[in-house]
């Protein structure tokens, strides 16, 4: 690996994940390198639910393949268990108390310099594909992006070709196909691992056979209501976990198709690819809540270059 590329990778790491440093970089300074960057953030993807982190279930074949050729970070923590504040921290390298997005549905202030704005000042094309409205135009996450697309709805599979359409990954691949600038930064946010734990039908029984319970609660809100009414037991949570893991398998398949398209475009070996999450998911009974309760949740972090 070249010295310049190593320096540029360190530059990206520091901006994305230091969480404590504010960067005021003059546009007159020379860029470290011209390597393009793709940042993929999965929603609610806890590290220990991935096979590459030692999980007992085989949930992440394609992520594992990339991880085996990458830096796999063992101790990366979310700044909070809300998507808005966590993503704001990733894009600004600031703690929530500094950037002001302390919960969801608060706009990111223009005064905060983002990673995409820094790279844009160096001549990078910048684009984002998201499928969470909380990370959309209404809350100013488009700042610094030349292209900012919100993908509504869920992926649909073409049974003949086996490809999934209307996914953030398919939209991102189509965007890269039209990319002319050899310097670009692309952020993809994938919400397919988020509650309500309802993967496409073909995935639902992948791990459910491990759990011997009545499939009564099939929606996240039903789980919450049942827990609040003291009707939820460990077996119910185990079933929800089996469906969450199935969602990961589905998201991993979509990720794998995207990786294949990167290879087809001869991009994979010429980019920095960062795969991480905004936060994890708890699956416990702490503080009377079923879902995310611990501020410092382990999240996945894989960097390939």
The position carrying tokens 């995310």 is 292
Write down the pLDDT at residue 161. Answer: 62
Write down the pLDDT at residue 218. Answer: 53
Q: Of 102, 121, 260, 276, whose CA–CA distance to 185 is shortest?
A: 121
Write down the pLDDT at residue 48. Answer: 87
Q: Of 190, 189, 200, 241, whose CA–CA distance to 220 is shortest?
A: 241
Write down the pLDDT at residue 245. Answer: 94
Stretches where the chain sits below pLDDT 50 are 3, 17-32, 285-296
Residue 288 burial (CB < 10 Å; 0-12/13-18/19+)? exposed
Write down the pLDDT at residue 262. Answer: 94
User: Contacts for 24-28 with beta carbons within 8 Å, 24 or more apart?
Assistant: 24/113, 25/113, 25/118, 25/121, 27/121, 27/122
Element (H, E) at 252: helix 234-264
Q: Which residues pair with 185 in a beta bridge?
A: 37, 126
Euclidean distance between CA atoms 269 and 266, whole angstroms: 7
The CATH number of 36-304 is 3.40.720.10
Cα→Cα distances 114→105, 160, 173, 296, Å: 18, 42, 24, 23
Backbone angles phi, psi at 301, to 5 degrees: -155, 110
Write down the pLDDT at residue 153. Answer: 76
User: Within 10 Å of residue 151's Cβ, how many Cβ atoms?
Assistant: 21
The pTM is what?
Answer: 0.84
Write down the pLDDT at residue 241. Answer: 87
Element (H, E) at 164: strand 164-165
């Amino acid at each position: 690996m070249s010295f310049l590329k190593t320096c540029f990778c360190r530059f990206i790491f520091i901006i994305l994940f230091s969480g404590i440093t504010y960067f005021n970089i003059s546009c007159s300074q020379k860029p470290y390198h011209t390597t393009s960057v793709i940042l993929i953030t999965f929603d609610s993807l806890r590290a220990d639910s991935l096979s590459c982190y030692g999980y007992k279930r085989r949930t992440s074949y394609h992520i594992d393949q990339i991880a085996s050729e990458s830096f796999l970070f063992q101790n990366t923590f979310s700044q909070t268990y809300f998507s808005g504040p966590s993503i704001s921290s990733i894009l600004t390298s600031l703690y929530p108390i500094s950037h002001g997005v302390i919960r969801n549905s608060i706009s990111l202030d223009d005064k905060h310099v983002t990673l995409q704005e820094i790279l844009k000042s160096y001549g990078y094309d910048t684009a984002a594909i998201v499928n969470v409205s909380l990370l959309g135009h209404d809350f100013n996450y488009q700042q610094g992006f030349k292209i900012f697309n919100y993908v509504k709805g869920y992926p649909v599979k073409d049974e003949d070709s086996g490809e999934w359409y209307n996914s953030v990954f398919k939209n991102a691949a189509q965007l890269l196909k039209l990319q002319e600038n050899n310097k670009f930064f692309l952020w993809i946010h994938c919400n397919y691992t988020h509650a309500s734990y309802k993967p496409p039908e073909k995935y639902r029984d992948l791990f459910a056979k491990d759990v011997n319970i009545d499939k009564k609660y099939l929606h996240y809100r039903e789980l919450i209501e049942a827990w609040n009414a003291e009707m939820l037991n460990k077996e119910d949570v185990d079933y929800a976990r089996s469906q969450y893991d199935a969602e990961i398998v589905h998201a991993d398949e979509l990720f794998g198709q995207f990786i294949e398209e990167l290879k087809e475009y001869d991009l994979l070996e010429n980019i920095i690819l960062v795969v991480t999450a905004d936060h994890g998911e708890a699956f416990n009974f702490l503080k009377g809540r079923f879902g995310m309760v611990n501020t410092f949740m382990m999240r996945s972090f894989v960097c390939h270059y």
